[in-house]
Amino acid sequence: MRKDYNLAKRQYVIGGFIVIIAIIYVIRLFNLQVMEAKYKDSADSNAFLRKAVYPSRGIIYDRDGRLVVYNQPAYDVMIIPRDIREFDTIDFCNAVNITPGDLVRRMTDMRDKRRNPGWSPYSPQKLLSHLSSEEYGRLQEKLYRFPGFYIQKRILREYNYNCASNVLGNIREVAPADMEKDPYYMRGDYMGDNQTRYVHITLLDNQIPYNLSDIEPVLRGDKPDGTTIFNHCEISDDGEIIVELTSQILASAGTGKYEIALYKTNGHRSLGTSLQRL
């Protein structure tokens, strides 16, 4: 009986195909269990309840003993979505001084992954921030009526002077991009902000954008302390005037009067806007 060599070759092809599939499965399992942290974080959020403990920070005085920075207690309403049961929404809204429509909007925004990248029905989610002492007292008495809700105390930094943040650092509420970069942050948290502020201005002439060719815009005006500034501005590709709010402008507390002056490239002034308060 003659041996069928074509059949013998097929067994090697089938065997090699099975080995390739097994290798792909092993690589994929290694990638899921060792390399990627997303599934580990999801499993941890189902098994652990993470509660942040906000420490008290030091009080700052100036050289003359005057209080500059101090701590202010604040209260956040946290929820665990999977633990929520039916509750009296009117009673809850009256306790925290919001409307039922506002409660529905906050719940919807919380479930929006674009606005809240850290959303999970198993992990704590921030519903309300910075309750007053009166709202905290009213809600604390009725908290047993709202399963899945709890109150988290935190410490906020307060400045005794309006310009203290320019010296000691400014803070802002975290954006969705910040939460995606660092899962430590939650909706309503604050972080240090050292970004420069800019104002984009479009000048119109009879509802038509003003032609800024061969024009150099300048921000002129008087700060609240009476100091005169003369800062050059930039022009964007869209024809907008970009005004940089430098630390020099923001150093004085209060409202100043400014205008955008337009100068020809030869140095002669051609036009100026009306005075604006900033």
Task: Give the tens place of pLDDT for each residue, 58-79.
Answer: 888 888 888 888 888 888 899 9
Per-residue pLDDT tens, the chain, 278 aa: give them. Answer: 555 556 666 777 788 888 899 999 888 888 877 777 666 666 666 666 677 777 777 888 888 888 888 888 888 899 988 889 889 999 999 988 888 888 888 888 888 877 777 788 888 888 888 888 888 888 999 999 999 999 988 887 777 877 656 565 666 677 666 777 777 777 767 777 655 567 778 887 777 777 777 778 888 888 888 788 888 887 775 677 878 777 677 767 777 788 888 887 665 666 666 556 66
Count how many residues are written for the chain: 278
Structure token pair of residue 86: 């039916």
